[in-house]
Amino acid sequence: MESIDSDDEKGDDLLIAQLEQRILAAVNDSAYVWRTVEGLARDTGLSGDEVDEIINRSDKFIKARRSNQHGQSLYSTREKYEADAGIRERLLSVITNRLGG
């Protein structure tokens, strides 16, 4: 018989997976390749802290090397980036990564 703690952990994992799916859908359904935590929070109905925690715990999101004009971090999914980022943006990303910038 499983303990209550084990059941609580399974419930937490399920909730986190459901919230992660909401954030993934918000990124992948967006007209934009890169999204801010604030924009994702607005689109998912989650708090910015919840979105930030889930994005940083998950390996399904990628973070842009540069932030937006307001200094906010930008996030996407590899699928969205590969499908929607233009050749110029991908080339600049490769160059930036190689030069360490």
**28-74 tens-digit pLDDT:** 999 999 999 999 999 999 999 999 999 999 999 999 988 999 999 99
Whether residue 37 contacts residue 64, with contact meaning beta carbons closer than 8 Å, is answered with no
Q: Regarding predicted confidence, which is higher, 10 or 13?
A: 13
Predicted TM-score (pTM) of the model is 0.74
CATH number at residue 47: 1.10.10.10
Q: Regarding predicted confidence, which is higher, 94 or 22?
A: 22
Cβ neighbours of 98 (radius 10 Å): 8
Task: Give the residue numbers spanning the domain of 41.
Answer: 4-99
Domains contained in the chain, number: 1
Tokens at 99, concatenated: 């030069």
Q: Is the pLDDT reported for residue 14 higher than 80?
A: yes
The band of 8, judged by pLDDT with boundaries at 50, 70 and 90, is: low
